[in-house]
Structure 1
Amino acid sequence: MKTTLVLAALATLIAAPALAAGPTCVSNADWLIVEKPHKDDVGNSYIVRSKSASPQAACSTKAAKGDRVIGTNDDPFFLLKLAGNYLMIDAGTGPDRGLVIYDLRDGSEIFSGGYDDESFKADVAGASFWTETGAKATRKNCPNIAAIEKDYLTPTIEAKARFDFAKGAVTVSKDTRCRATQ
């Protein structure tokens, strides 16, 4: 009897049409960002609409004249934050992540690099995060290098960074750390 009820419930779920979910959109005074999930790949692309060009900008995944698209089906992009004229995107599918910051006014990439997604913190003035420096890990700058390598991980030297929304620039500090990455 239980098996019959479970199978009947499962058949109903399979036969029921999926409810169409609307697109996910975020906006501020100047921009509307429409998240467009990839059909066969992980991640999203983003349609960028200027509210000054289209005061009644609609939350629709159909690209309109004047729209700009950030990302392709090959880009595993996930929205982190829209702040003023800047769009911050998390890129990647594994434990090691990338951060990409775009200036929406011209579509230019302001920053792109590996970062510790668990350290990303945004406030009203900017965003802080740890980013890869490219420096080679040594016993001097990474005291736990032996333990990291013993666990078949990669020691990565990172520096504290800050993206200032008012200046539109990333500043990398001299404060560094060593972190195990895959």
Structure 2
Amino acid sequence: MKNIFLYILLIFLLLQCQSKPYAEKEISPKRIHNSTLINTLPELVKLRNETIEDREFNKGSLYIYVLTTENHVYVHTSVMDCVEASFYSISENIENKNYEIWVDARSIRPERYFDLKDAKLIERDNEAQICDDWYWVKGKYKVVNDELKLIKISSFYDNSYSRKSFYDKEDSIFLHQTEVLMVEPSPEPEP
């Protein structure tokens, strides 16, 4: 009887020791729900870092700004805070690196991809600002059969890049309403 009691106590202690490390790994909740985003965000950051000529811009904090529409997710990586709109700020640990992610508050159903519960809302006045952000990389994802597919990557060095061609035409009404895209005024003819 004494041996059975010791045997049960030993098993109980072994199980307790094995469960503690597992519980410690689950401290920070995952904020990104989409495996495509989890797998490609580090690659976009890596590409951004490899294209930078000025290494001083490689030392600062990196911002990942995200806008979701009905059928697309647009990601902008930069070391500069050029965001004019209000956003939800979340952090995500991917491959032992902490990423600061800003999800545009104007996004359409961002909860499909991100856990924004208890996320901090940073209010901005949407005032235009001059921002010399030369070292950015953008990714465009399309929803295909309820899955995200990375379909386009552009950087500051992409000579064919334009805001109008990067964003999908089916999103243009939403993007103009939210002033992500703006119609440039035509020049006034001189009298």
Asked if these proteins are the same fold (TM beyond 0.5), I'd say: no
More helix by share: 2
TM-score (norm: length of structure 1): 0.26
TM-score (norm: length of structure 2): 0.25
More strand by share: 1
